[in-house]
Structure 1
């Protein structure tokens, strides 16, 4: 165990990591956040390692076909930047012994990230780490068992001493079951003591305020897959209920848990308030890695009090050159340009701005407004693909004034958050847990135009460092907000944003300055990781000092009742 009480050694588990566009083992915001986190740990010299999976194929490369619909391509990658440690671990899945090679990458300014890989020549188990979030429930469970159980075993195999285990989302839950199994072997198979010990070392971050995004599994399938990992049905029910809820189980297994913005904290506490034995949920707002997302020229201009708009126009032209190269569409850098890039999901309302074309169309057709969209849908999400197809129709309708950029990834994201003038974000509140793309834009002086949800409730001020759509924040029934939000969106766009851009350039520059000033520390990954150490890691680690004596001096410490039939 780390003897430096101020900085415990943390193993950070996540299903995906977005370190670079050349290493596509990420799907979106969760993975990019995890990659930024590992970079912040390296810069701050915090003792941390990452645990993930080396996916054989990209999550998906997604392009548009001749009918205007997205289709998926899965190239296989060699990952020359990844090192083979020469170590393998084994996990029992469906009664079969699965070998997992342990790889490592640390070349992107990150602390070491260890990756489990079942794509071994001659093995029949490559499907388990084939595609991120791909396949059916068995595929998902197999991958999660590799991540969790295999992740703990790789730590043991490499001799890496760890004080705390941080689960970034419920995908890593099976690491907790492996810790329990280890402790049961040491404590005469006492499940209650093993649970207490495992709980004292686990941190959990929940990201998903949408109920459908929280995984639930049937116990018959869990048992068939070998996910019980030495536990029985009653013990598994005490942890995750029946059916087995991965988020609820993670909340019961963790010593401390957090949401990823203050508003998300309110939502998550309400969501999970009925879960017996759940740890309380606090809030630590997400941040992004400046070195990855903030244009160096913009940072230098900000630090030297130089002309931010001139640098911005350079970034804007670079974005437009990329668009011309990829699509043949020529956009005008003098025209106000809104950007929108998100995962294709109904609550994000990517088409909201188009819902009254009679009002919007004159501004587009007369060259006063341009829009750029990008994003991916999950390969199996036909509704998400319908959303993208609708955006492509707008691209086809408006020519060079509306563009949909296919195959959204970190490269495209960097261009967009630096080159657009305004960053549009209009989800149905309160379903945006954080929304880090807006932070990346703000760090580059791109002004946010957003519903007050996620991080936005803590950052931009209306008319000072961005513009806010506040109707949803004043109303209790969020699903009736579309029309009200649309009316407010047009009012702010036509009466405030456009006049400022075209008639008051000095004020626009001042707002850019305020945006960067607001974002670059308060919403940085450097601030975020320090807050995790201050609020989550150190207090949890200090509490570990009591573990050896507390069960004897304080018999009720971390008391876990016997509740064999907890249901959701």
Structure 2
């Protein structure tokens, strides 16, 4: 195979509803936003031609605290974003027959590739409701927000003079950008089908979850009323998204290639969407995390120097314990095993699984062998999710200093947890955890995963070497087995017979496992690896043309880009 050096890379515009870059800019709800923030940071590190497109949310998704009754309640502070750079550029979109003016702010101060945020919530605007609250309000609010993100986002790129080769829709919220690209090409004289084909060559799409609630659908009457048709007809919109209009279906039909966010999720997504005609092929690009954001520098320094990881780990653990005591008053023991669990409050994540046999877990908690720390948020309108949190708070109050629930989960809390816990617990129902990046962050800090095999875990930790896997001890019938019952037995078995004895009786082995965890995760589950694969498999011509493929090689001196050219005989 011959290689020709290529001097330029495709210019990418990355569309996402939320971005988690820094606690100072709370325009994220959870994992999707943190992933998007890590993506932009990795793009900046690597000098890649990437810009982000998003929305400047006036209010926090939610600050969620625990009331005296043990139930979570929500606070929605409004933030002063005057510290952000105003580009002075505006664009308009049509919502419910009215012209909505969107201001554009620029964010690049968090070590990230440029992020442009559209804002309708400013003095004198009658449409501040649109960008008021992330994932808040009615279906009309949601469609209006998606019009601003998608249609407004493309128009913002034009107004800013930013040239784009590839439009990456990170989740279905962004797909109205594809309608704007189709509209632009039809305005140039192409037929609808020609415009659709031309737009598809520039669009890639990432689907993030097999959970139905994460794959949004809209009534066509609502879309037409809100202005989302953007000049297209009902028949044209139906061809793109079906009836009702599926945002994931539209993403698959508007893109030339799509991806799931782990190997398992790619397989699940292909089965899940196999009946969608005219769909883009779905490959797998496993998520990754930004190491410099999430990895403790002292842990990385000790790892690189071949030194014991234990002093750096204990220092991080003490920082977490101090943080917990400051927040809750609970004095944890730095010498006792500390297991962490922090997730969005969703039933399939099974945050309460470890408590389902209290006769077994209670002695471990009361004799000081085990400490548990939990954190998480529920959507403000999700009463089921709030019940999950309330149940964890009950365990906190029942077991005193052995169980802690940290309220108002956010980037700051997450960083303390993934650096300071001893073990990271992950037990979702398979195959609903599409990827799961918190365990990657923990692994990079030598925090050992105790997990089911789902999402990224199927590609990473090895049982007894760099973590522990529940599936390793489950004897399951291939056709029928009770996940909850079998996983609970496996969790207790591994915790009692492997994790606890190793922690208290074999610190040398624990240290070797920590080192193996860091070695396993540092590159394989980094955002830098993720974005290289995006360029190689989705963005480059090779992602869409098997005869050509772009390879990115990162060295200490920068980035080399090569394009492979197959010999003539292979054509």
**Counterpart mapping for 1:146-225 below 5 A:** 146-188=148-190, 190-225=191-226
Whole-Å separation in 1 of the counterparts to 2:546 and 2:353: 50
2:462 is equivalent to residue 484 of structure 1: no
Which residue of 11, 15, 18 maps to 2:17? Answer: 15
Whole-Å separation in 2 of the counterparts to 1:476 and 1:71: 42
Whole-Å separation in 2 of the counterparts to 1:257 and 1:99: 32
Pair 542,222 (structure 1): closer, same or farther in 2 beyond 3 Å: closer
Displacement, 1:81? 3.7
Is the Cα–Cα contact under 8 Å of residues 257 and 544 in structure 2 kept in the other structure? no
Displacement, 1:187? 1.7
Whole-Å separation in 1 of the counterparts to 2:270 and 2:545: 23
Displacement, 1:80? 4.0
Which residue of 67, 70, 77 maps to 1:68? Answer: 70
Which blocks of at least 5 consecutive residues in structure 1 are unaligned? 547-568
Match of 1:358 in 2: 359
| SS state at 2:87 partner | strand
Q: CA RMSD in A?
A: 1.7
Is the Cα–Cα contact under 8 Å of residues 8 and 541 in structure 1 kept in the other structure? no
| SS state at 2:540 partner | helix
Displacement, 1:430? 0.2
Is the Cα–Cα contact under 8 Å of residues 293 and 414 in structure 1 kept in the other structure? yes
Pair 130,8 (structure 1): closer, same or farther in 2 beyond 3 Å: same
Moved over 6 A (4+): none
**Counterpart mapping for 1:419-458 below 5 A:** 419-458=420-459
| SS state at 2:369 partner | coil
User: Which deviations, in whole Å up to 9, do the C-alpha atoms of 1:375-427 show, x marking residues without a partner?
Assistant: 00000000000000000000000111100000000000000001000000000
**Counterpart mapping for 1:110-509 below 5 A:** 110-188=112-190, 190-470=191-471, 480-509=482-511
Whole-Å separation in 1 of the counterparts to 2:542 and 2:146: 25
Pair 479,123 (structure 1): closer, same or farther in 2 beyond 3 Å: farther
Is the Cα–Cα contact under 8 Å of residues 474 and 490 in structure 2 kept in the other structure? no
- Counting matched residue pairs gives 543
Displacement, 1:309? 1.0
Match of 2:523 in 1: 521
Pair 478,290 (structure 1): closer, same or farther in 2 beyond 3 Å: farther
Match of 1:550 in 2: none
Whole-Å separation in 2 of the counterparts to 1:364 and 1:146: 50
Is the Cα–Cα contact under 8 Å of residues 200 and 540 in structure 1 kept in the other structure? no
Whole-Å separation in 1 of the counterparts to 2:273 and 2:514: 39
Displacement, 1:475? 5.2
Match of 2:109 in 1: 107
Which blocks of at least 5 consecutive residues in structure 2 are unaligned? 549-571
| SS state at 1:107 partner | coil
Match of 2:541 in 1: 539
Is the Cα–Cα contact under 8 Å of residues 347 and 385 in structure 2 kept in the other structure? yes
| SS state at 2:392 partner | helix
Match of 1:554 in 2: none
Match of 1:83 in 2: 85
- TM-score, L = length of structure 2: 0.93
Displacement, 1:129? 0.4
Whole-Å separation in 2 of the counterparts to 1:230 and 1:473: 57
Is the Cα–Cα contact under 8 Å of residues 447 and 515 in structure 1 kept in the other structure? yes
Is the Cα–Cα contact under 8 Å of residues 428 and 478 in structure 1 kept in the other structure? no
